[in-house]
Amino acid sequence: MNDIEEAGVRLTILRGGTSRGLYVEAADLPADPAARDDLLLRLMGTPDPRQIDGLGGATSLTSKVAVVGPSEHPDADVDYLFLQLGVDEASVSDRQNCGNILAGVGPFALERGLVVAADGTTDVRIRMVNSDSVAVATVATPGGRVSYRGDVAIAGVPGTAAGVTLAFADTEGSATGALLPTGRVRDTVDGVEVTCVDNGMPVVLALATSFGLTGHESHEELTADAALAERIDALRQKAGALMGLGDVAGSSVPKTVLLAPPADGGQVATRSFIPVLPHTAVGVLAAVSVVTGMLLPGAVGHDIAAERFPAGGRVDVEHPTGHFLVDVVVDTTTSPPRVTRSGVVRTARKLMDGTAFPRPAS
């Protein structure tokens, strides 16, 4: 038994947005990425579809890790590396950000003393290592202590909690190097009109009607449609190549989001896939990229945007379990278009803090 297996790893489990993850200080993990990933897989209980011998929740939404530490970036307080772990496959990916898990990074950094809390609210400047971009999380800190109590409700999470405001900067081209990775506002892939956009998350936008759907199907209906999953996967793999991401067959990006007019008082209906299975909601940065893309004249879904979106500001995005507010402003007078503002409001809650013991190395 090695030292880590015997002593365990200090970590915190937080719900961030509609995800749940392990939050670990970088100093408490092996410096070697391969050794780090092996340890995290054993902590999570991967590979195993039940993750019965670890801390995972048997879904991709609960098999996530945030590695947090002090930052040397002049505009950041902490570095945040997001790692998506497989469930039944022993995979660890750093090819994307996670805006839901990001919601817990500010509270975690304050709880661990990586950032000093002010009385009232505290801004935590976070460098998202995956995309080398900065987000600012505004966290409730009455009396200089993190508070998780509040009256903000988000779809997909029971009850209410303190709001965490996330403001993004320099997220254009997070994984691909460009807001429009193909260099075009619209492409045709497998006979389907798509817009490929990357404002924090590489996303392929298509109309639900292109797949014979209304865009208002339930999560269960989409999950049961094996033929749809095959079409989505074929589309995103070809789109991924066009976006400069190479072979994405084993990757969690790009995401695919199907668009439709709203049905529940919002401004657009979305059905998101991560990357092939339907999402119960919609990812934070995926939603930001969706709204960004739809604001571009000529883009897939722009007709929906032109009819219902404000000139700039909050957009109410419908998804299978509720609504998601996204704040995006795009300057379309420049070439290429430029994002001038993007942000969201999420919540987070600390679930556990303590020592976790990994499955022994094989």
The CATH architecture assigned to 187-335 reads Roll (3.10)
The answer to whether 122 and 111 have CB atoms below 8 angstroms apart is: no
Strands (E), the chain: 9-16, 19-25, 64-70, 78-85, 92-93, 120-128, 133-141, 163-169, 187-189, 192-198, 202-207, 255-260, 268-273, 313-319, 322-331, 338-356
DSSP per-residue string spanning 151-202: SB--TTSSS-B-EEEEEEES-BTTTTSSSSTTSSS-EEETTEEEEEEEBSSE
Q: What is d(CA 126, CA 107) in angstroms, rounded to the nearest whole number?
A: 11
How much is the pTM? 0.76
The answer to whether 136 and 124 have CB atoms below 8 angstroms apart is: yes
Domains 3-171+347-356 and 187-335 share a fold: yes
The answer to whether 277 and 176 have CB atoms below 8 angstroms apart is: no
What integer pLDDT is reported at residue 289 of this predicted model? Answer: 96
The answer to whether 117 and 108 have CB atoms below 8 angstroms apart is: no
Residue range 279-294, pLDDT digits in tens:
999 999 999 999 999 9
What integer pLDDT is reported at residue 313 of this predicted model? Answer: 66
Residue 291 sits at φ, ψ, to 5 deg, of -65, -40
Domain boundaries, the chain: 3-171+347-356, 187-335
Q: What is d(CA 286, CA 164) in angstroms, rounded to the nearest whole number?
A: 18
> Alpha carbon of 127 to those of 20, 21, 44, 62: distances in Å?
20, 18, 25, 22
What integer pLDDT is reported at residue 314 of this predicted model? Answer: 76
Residue 45: burial class (beta carbons within 10 Å; 0-12, 13-18, 19+): buried
Residue 170 sits at φ, ψ, to 5 deg, of 55, 40
Phi-psi group of 230: left, alpha or beta (phi > 0 → left; psi -120 to 50 → alpha; rest → beta): alpha
Spans in the chain with pLDDT lower than 50: 1
Is domain 3-171+347-356 classified as CATH 3.40.50.150?
A: no
Residue range 33-60, pLDDT digits in tens:
999 999 999 999 999 999 999 999 999 9
Q: What is d(CA 85, CA 74) in angstroms, rounded to the nearest whole number?
A: 30
The answer to whether 288 and 308 have CB atoms below 8 angstroms apart is: no
